[in-house]
Every structure is written in C-alpha cells, then in structure tokens.
Amino acid sequence: MNPIQVGLLGIGTVGSGTFSVLKRNQAEIRRRAGRGIEITMVADLDLDRARTLVGPEVKVVNDARAVIANPDIDIVVELIGGYGIARQLVMEAIAAGKHVVTANKALLAVHGTEIFAAAHAKGVMVAFEAAVAGGIPIIKALREGLTANSIQWIAGIINGTTNFILSEMRAKGLDFASVLKEAQRLGYAEADPTFDIEGVDAAHKATIMSAIAFGIPVQFDKAYVEGITALSAQDIRYAEQLGYRIKLLGITKRSIDHKTGAVRGIELRVHPSLVPMKRLIANVEGAMNAVMVHGDAVGTTLYYGKGAGAEPTASAVIADLVDITRLHTADAAQRVPHLAFQPDAMSDLPVLPMSEIITSYYLRLRVADEAGVLAGVTGILAEAGISIDAMLQREADEVGAPDGDAQVAQTDLIILTHDTLEGTMNEVMARMQALPSVLQPIKRIRKEELA
C-alpha cells in the first residue's frame, strides 16, 4: 500500500520537530498505522532553511496553496498559527477534500465552529491534539477515553510560560517583572509574552476543552480571561502560609443549581487560583502542564507532561496523522466527531458570565492598624452572607502618610472565604474599598479546592 502523503504548511519549531520525529520513528509508526506516512511537500517562506531541514527528497515551495492544490497530498498539516491566513488555508484545504491536522489553538477557539461544520459537510477530518497541552493526549482522553462519563469539570495548568514564572516567583521570592525577564532570557517566554501572561493562550485551550467536554460550540468570546501580571510575591508567600499554591488555571465546569439539581450553564474561565498544596496539580512546577478532569463514573484523573516544545508537540501532530491514516477510508459517520458529540446533538447550554460564577476567595486588604477595622470588614461580609474560612493578620509596620508628615501603622489582613456568588463579592469589595481604613486596592484571587 502506498504511503499517505502529507503536506506541511510551516516548518518552524513544531514543523521541524514533526519532520524529525516522523523520519526517526518511521518504521514504528508504519507498524501502528498500517501504512507509511511521509511528508512529501513543505511550504515555507524561508526556502533555504526549509530545504536544509528536509533535504532534497522533499519538494519545498513558498506558496502554501501549491501544497493544497497538489492532488497527491492526502493530509495538510497547518503549523503557521494565528487567525488570518491560517484560517483561509485550512478552509481551502477542507474545500479541496484534504484532511487537516493543526496545532493552532487560537484558530480553533475563535473559528472552530465554522471549520468543523465545513469539514463535516465535506466528509474530511480536522485533527487538533497538538492544539492543547502539547504532548499530553488530553483531546483523545476527552473525546474517546472518557466518553462513558458525564464530565463535571476540568481544571488545567495549560500554559508553561506562566507556570514557570509562578514557580520561580514562589521558589525565589522575586517579583513578576524580574522573573519575566529571566523567562525571556531562557526562552520560556516570547519577546512579546502578552498572550501567555494575560491568560489568552490558556483561554484558547480551555475553550476547546470545554466544547469537547460538554458538547457546546467553541465560544472563546464568552470566556473570562485574567492573567498573572498583577500577582505579587507577597500574595504567593501568604498563600503558602495558608497551605495553598497560586496557579494560573483554565477552568470549565457544569454549574449546578444545588436547590433544583438542574444545570445552570457552563463555566469557562482562566485566572490565577489558590490550590491546596496537597493536590498533585499544585505541585506541577516549571514549564510543565497538567490537566485534571472529573467524570461522574471515573472520578478525577490527572494528565501531566510537556505542554510545548518541538518534539512533545510533534508527538501529538503525528498521533493525529496516524489516526487519520487509519480512518480516512472509513465511513465518515463512523469517525469520532470533532467535538466528541454528534453534530446534531450539540448542547445549547449557555456559558455563564463571571458575575454568576460561585467560588471562594482570597482577599488581601492593606488597612490602618487601628481599632474597629476588623469589625468593619467582617461586618460587611456577614451582611452579605459570606462566611470566613480562615484569616491571617500580619504584624503592623510604619509607613509614611501621603502628606509626608506622620507615620501610619498599617497591616495586611488576609481573608479566605467560603463559596459565594462573584456578583455578590464584587458588591462586597466595593463596600470594603470605600472604608477609610482600607488604604490600597483590595487584592482578590479566587480559590479552587478541586475536590
């Protein structure tokens, strides 16, 4: 049987890793796939570099559309990235009857509904294991391994850059800006790290996992996104003293009305979270990724590994190539649906706005060290029906007053709350902030027990 022919669009870090791993493990992959898989055509703007990487046996062009137009190409691998030309090329490949493999989480999070609909109509596959958590096979686990379960929630460390920064801040007691510079020097952070540190990259991945877990359309525009730029070393230190670590989590879950048992909607959010130290995910350090999934039958499962890099991501790309090779001659109706659920059985559950989310909180208030402050703060919480789980008050220190005349005794008051509605907490924080004794903006970090 002739090998499956693959056209590669972009041979950067992941593309070169894919070519290298596929060539190195070709015999093993053939044994698993049932036939050979060969990259026979590459499109890249840097022709000389591409030719150096792939050698004389592979055709190299600078026009991606030439790959799509080639009738001998069975699968197009899109590794260009971004929302623009990548979307056009993927849609053109589908229209040409080509199967597509992509690592482009941004593209799928924003345009996935359109792309999957086009692929379904054309009877081709779009595979995207590499789009979420690099070498961790979380997409296959959600779509196939856990298919017997009603997924209740997913919580993941799905951005290695931010996890590296938070790990270094905790280990060395450094501030965010210092660690970001070090991360850039070591290559863990891009020159422009905005998508990573502001939580956008993690939100793209959480959006895809949410769609697969709950059978809803991809809805990146509904995600709540908050990054790590406002985190301070002192909050990481206080969290440790209370038995928690701070991690940037991508979270999606069914929100249940505890009075009626009905599903209110789906939560989709990315933000820093306090996680109990005893949880395995709290001890995931450096640039590693980890995803926790809770299903009603299986309970909680944890998937851990490298979330980025040439060969870990290539591992996921090639796994998709093998899947398509096995299934491309099968009846399209017998293939695993792109988002796990049959296209005519998708759910219309809404993605809830953040104000309707119920969770618990870490609050840090910089207050004047004077009588009545604690009573005022706890009184506001009590009036809103918010109970306190734990409290920590630091020794007072002397800080110059704004006019430079007097010394004012100040202290940090740290409060952990039980669950409450985010909208209620917003109102409570506004009331506490208005107290004359609260001297700086209140710091809020959400707390996730993950149990």
Question: Which residues carry out catalysis?
Answer: 205
Query: Cβ(200)–Cβ(229) under 8 Å?
Result: no
Q: Which long-range contacts (CB under 8 A, 24 or more apart) does 129-132 make?
A: 129/316, 129/317, 129/319, 129/320, 130/14, 130/101, 130/102, 130/103, 130/313, 130/314, 130/316, 130/317, 130/320, 131/102, 131/103, 131/104, 131/105, 131/205, 131/208, 132/105, 132/158, 132/205, 132/208, 132/209
Gap between the Cα atoms of 66 and 82, Å rounded? 20
Amino acid identity, position 80:
I
Query: Cβ(239)–Cβ(274) under 8 Å?
Result: yes
Name the CA radius of gyration of the chain, rounded. 25
For residue 9, which of 70, 63, 48, 74 has the smallest C-alpha distance?
Answer: 63
Gap between the Cα atoms of 451 and 448, Å rounded? 9
Q: How far from the centroid of its chain's Cα atoms is residue 367's Cα?
A: 35
Both structure tokens of 26: 């070709």
Amino acid identity, position 358:
I
Query: Cβ(126)–Cβ(114) under 8 Å?
Result: no
Question: What are phi and psi for residue 125, nearest 5 degrees?
Answer: -105, 145
What is the helix (H) or strand (E) element at residue 22, kind and residue range? helix 13-24
